[in-house]
Amino acid sequence: MLRRQLARCVLVLAAVLAWPAAAPAAEAPMQVYTSVIPVKTLVEAVGGDRVAVTALVQPGQSPATFDPGPRTLASLEGTEVYFRVGVPFERSWMARLRAAAPRMSVADLRDDVKLRAIGAHAHEHSDEANAADDLAGLSPDVAKVVDAMGEGRVPREVADPHLWTSPANAVPMVKRIRDALTREDPAHRAEYEQRAADYIERLNALDKRIAERLAPLKGRRFVVFHPAWGYFADRYGLVQLAIEADGKSPGGSELDKLIEEIRGLDVSAVFVQDQFSQRSARTIADALGIKVVSIDPLAADYIDNLDRVSQRIAEALQ
């Protein structure tokens, strides 16, 4: 009897020891917010499954007109990092975004990028390509401020916020993302460093492909509705000319004048994006018998998208 009870105890103990131990709770991903989808893509490339990233401006919305509501502000609670690029709504809403998430750190991705002014409009074109002219399109008062700063550095208040449209800019942005995530989560430093290095290698390859594709078109002008492509143009020796001026579409006689001025340029297409009205662009294209081509600066597939954009620009300008 005693032997039988002892044997049963041994069997029970063996069963308990064989039972799989409860798996440790999975680490919750770091809660991260940013303004626009392309920056979300960059953060995810570095953070992997260690981050849960939300872009405030959703597909179809424009960062130029986006207005965060109470529900959006409430969703920020618990956010650990916010990546900023200087899009219009951030200028007026940043204090309220911080107030909605008091423990949130803010990493400014402009810090290591040479900023440019928003750029010349189509009716302000120069006779020569000047991809390095950071003062183009600025009011005289602001231009004096910039000039006085030396080295042509543009104040953030008047800078073009579309940093990500140049893959060369994305490299320092990725490095700053890596550093910000590491500060919040130093235990996974090695992962962030490796993913950042891998993505930077892809960005450099992309930059090389685009440079080779657009090299024969250096100095060419291209007309856009919204001036989102200035950094891209500067990088590859093109000249962006915008229809929109100070966030407004031209109307009436101003549009007629613009059509005549563009007629005198070597322009074969007008480039538009879905987030803005295309009426003015299509009016100009119809009057001049040129194409309307869609290119999206806010697409999620960052590397593939810039490849596509460069191909469409090359095809339109050849």
Reported as a single tens digit per residue, the pLDDT across 161-209 is: 999 999 999 999 999 999 999 999 999 999 999 999 999 999 999 999 9
Q: Please tell me the distance from the alpha carbon of residue 143 to that of residue 77, in angstroms, as a whole number.
A: 40
Say if 156 falls within a structural domain: yes
Query: pTM for the complete prediction?
Result: 0.81
- Residue 285 included in any domain: yes
Among 274, 166, 285, 165, smallest CA distance to 223 is for 285
Residue 22 pLDDT grade (very low, low, confident, very high; cuts 50, 70, 90)? very low
Q: How far is CA 293 from CA 114, 182, 282, in A?
A: 29, 41, 10
Q: Is residue 233 part of a domain?
A: yes
CATH assignment of the domain containing 220: 3.40.50.1980
- Asked if 77 contacts 101 with a C-beta cutoff of 8 angstroms, the reply is yes
Lowest-pLDDT range of 5-19, 69-83, 203-217: 5-19
Which pLDDT score, from 0 to 100, does residue 283 have?
80
What's the total number of domains in the chain? 1
Domain range for residue 150? 122-162+207-317
Strand partners, 5: none
CB 230 within 8 A of CB 240: yes
Which of the pair, 277 or 101, is modelled with greater confidence? 101
211 in a structural domain = yes
Tokens in use for 186?
């130093």
Q: Indicate whether 201 belongs to any domain.
A: no
Q: How many residues does the chain have?
A: 318
The contacts of residue 145 (CB under 8 Å, 6+ apart) are 155
Distances (CA, A) of 31 to 19, 25, 55, 220, 271: 35, 17, 11, 43, 36
Q: Assess if residue 39 is contained within a domain.
A: no
What integer pLDDT is reported at residue 281 of this predicted model?
A: 79
- pLDDT over 90 (residue 86): yes
Residue 63 phi, psi dihedral angles, 5° rounding: -65, -15
Contact by Cβ (8 Å): 180, 276: no
Whether 288 is in a domain gets the answer yes
Residue 271 located in a structural domain:
yes
Name the band, by pLDDT with cuts 50, 70 and 90, for residue 54. very high
In this predicted structure, the answer to whether residue 72 has a pLDDT above a threshold of 50 is yes
Q: Band of the pLDDT at 122, cuts 50, 70, 90?
A: low
Among 146-155, 186-195, 287-296, which is the least confidently predicted range? 146-155
Q: Quick check: helix, strand or coil at residue 180?
A: helix
Question: To which H or E segment does residue 205 belong?
Answer: helix 189-214
